């Protein structure tokens, strides 16, 4: 199948970077998003605004495409499943359904004998009474969370009384890991045992939002290999097609845990645009559109700084970046607190 019209659901910066990568491969991108001001409309070939349950609008979108992918995971399963009946959706909707639910995701990972944080499902207030084993912990909504949204740190069970939590939603309580480091592994899978791994990336978060990423990660070889192996097993087990990111915790005893899986391109992989011959975005498109897999080469070490909220302002006014600095402005209309506005990647030796 030759694909020249790729549909992308979601119009944030990941959609923009996918569109830019597609252009290079002579693939047109049509983006569908429920935000009229979605920044990716500045980068794609065609933009459609519509809600994720607007069947007519979605059909109009699907008709314009040969194949569909998505740039964020919180899309209703029904939407992806209905679309998949008309045109192929990659990664498969069932993968998205599994991963967008924190409990199902962790159960799946544990079945592969891969370590996660200890966790328990919380459905009602009284579930809290017997949880001392999981404290201190973080209470998270089982679905729809990102950038730390829907998360509550919990030291003592009593705190739950005062937090005013809406128990009509499902929650998961995760034991807090005493973090030494966080890393991520990005993998693009093209088919059975056919994949490319980017080397582990070291990540620093502030207020549960990614702030800084760099390669090489300062980790020992065992952790390097184990993280790669686990990412491979997860991608194989899911029969995943496209780019996937696995986020890991490393505790103070050098134990590795999978934190979560992102069934999409990932913020920590922005540095692959400048540090590799083929970026995570280009590879995602190559995989979902069944294009050639090109040998992956790292060109340089790199670090990436997210510009959050008004941190973008001085960079917008700076016209003199050095040769090894690459500034990306997501062209979001409004600067908001905690909003990812852009990033800067610096190639380092
Ligand atoms: P999101 O879906 O918002 O990315 P994560 O579960 O990845 O949610 O949490 C965001 C960040 O919060 C993590 O990268 C980590 O820094 C911190 N965090 C989350 N859960 C834990 C935990 N169980 N132990 C320690 N830190 C955690
Ligand atoms: Mg995360």
Distance 179 CA to ligand 1 centre (A): 10
Give the H/E segment covering residue 107: helix 102-111
Q: Which of 249, 250, 255, 340 to mutate to test the pocket of ligand 1 (most atoms within 8 A of CB)?
A: 249
pTM of the predicted structure, to 2 decimals: 0.96
Domain extent listing, the chain? 5-89, 118-175, 179-348
Residue nearest to atom 27 of ligand 1 (CA): 176
Judge contact between 105 and 99, C-beta under 8 A: yes
Topology classification of domain 118-175:
Dna Ligase; domain 1 (3.30.1490)
- pLDDT > 70: what percent of the chain? 100
Q: Which tens digit of pLDDT belongs to each residue from 59-109?
A: 999 999 999 999 999 999 999 999 999 999 999 999 999 999 999 999 999
Distance 100 CA to ligand 1 centre (A): 15
- Ligand 1: atom nearest CA of 148 is 3
**Alpha carbon distances (Å) from 239 to 95, 148, 155, 236:** 9, 28, 39, 5
**Alpha carbon distances (Å) from 206 to 39, 154, 211, 306, 340:** 24, 18, 6, 11, 12
Q: Which CATH architecture has domain 5-89?
A: 3-Layer(aba) Sandwich (3.40)
Residue nearest to atom 21 of ligand 1 (CA): 176
Divide the 349 residues of the chain into consecutive groups of 10 and give the mean pLDDT of each group: 89 98 98 98 98 97 98 94 98 97 97 97 80 90 86 85 80 95 98 98 96 98 98 98 98 98 98 98 98 98 98 91 97 96 97
Q: Which CATH architecture has domain 179-348?
A: 2-Layer Sandwich (3.30)
- Ligand 1: atom nearest CA of 177 is 24
Q: Which of 152, 184, 208, 210 to mutate to test the pocket of ligand 1 (most atoms within 8 A of CB)?
A: 208
């Amino acid at each position: 199948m030759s694909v020249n019209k790729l549909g992308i659901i979601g119009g944030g910066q990941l959609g923009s970077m996918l569109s830019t990568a597609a252009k290079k491969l002579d693939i047109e991108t049509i983006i569908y998003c429920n935000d009229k001001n979605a920044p990716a409309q500045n980068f794609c070939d065609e933009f459609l605004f519509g809600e994720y349950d607007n069947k007519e609008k979605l059909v109009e979108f699907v008709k314009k495409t040969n194949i569909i992918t998505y740039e964020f995971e919180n899309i209703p399963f029904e939407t992806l499943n209905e679309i998949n009946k008309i045109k192929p959706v990659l990664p498969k909707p069932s993968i998205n359904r599994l991963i967008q639910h924190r409990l199902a995701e962790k159960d799946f990972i544990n079945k592969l004998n891969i370590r996660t944080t200890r966790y328990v499902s919380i459905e009602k207030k009284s579930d809290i009474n017997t949880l001392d084993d999981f404290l201190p912990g973080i209470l998270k909504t089982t679905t729809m969370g990102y950038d730390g949204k829907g998360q509550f740190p919990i030291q003592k069970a009593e705190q739950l009384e005062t937090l005013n939590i809406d128990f009509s939603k499902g929650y998961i309580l995760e034991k807090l890991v005493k973090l030494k480091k966080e890393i991520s592994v990005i993998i693009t899978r093209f088919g059975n045992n056919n994949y490319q791994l980017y080397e582990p990336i070291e990540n620093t978060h502030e207020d549960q939002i990614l702030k800084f990423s760099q390669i090489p990660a300062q980790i020992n070889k065992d952790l390097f290999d184990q993280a790669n192996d686990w990412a491979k097993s997860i991608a194989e087990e899911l029969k995943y097609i496209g780019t996937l990111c696995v986020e890991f915790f490393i505790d103070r005893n050098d134990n590795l845990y999978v934190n979560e899986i992102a069934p999409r391109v990932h913020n920590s992989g922005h540095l692959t645009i400048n540090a590799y011959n083929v970026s995570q975005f280009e590879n995602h498109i190559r995989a979902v559109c069944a294009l050639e897999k090109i040998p992956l080469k790292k060109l340089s070490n790199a670090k990436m700084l997210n510009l959050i909220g008004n941190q973008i302002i001085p960079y917008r006014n700076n016209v003199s970046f050095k040769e090894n600095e690459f500034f990306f402005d997501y062209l979001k209309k409004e600067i908001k607190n905690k909003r990812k506005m852009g990033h800067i990647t610096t190639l380092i030796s």
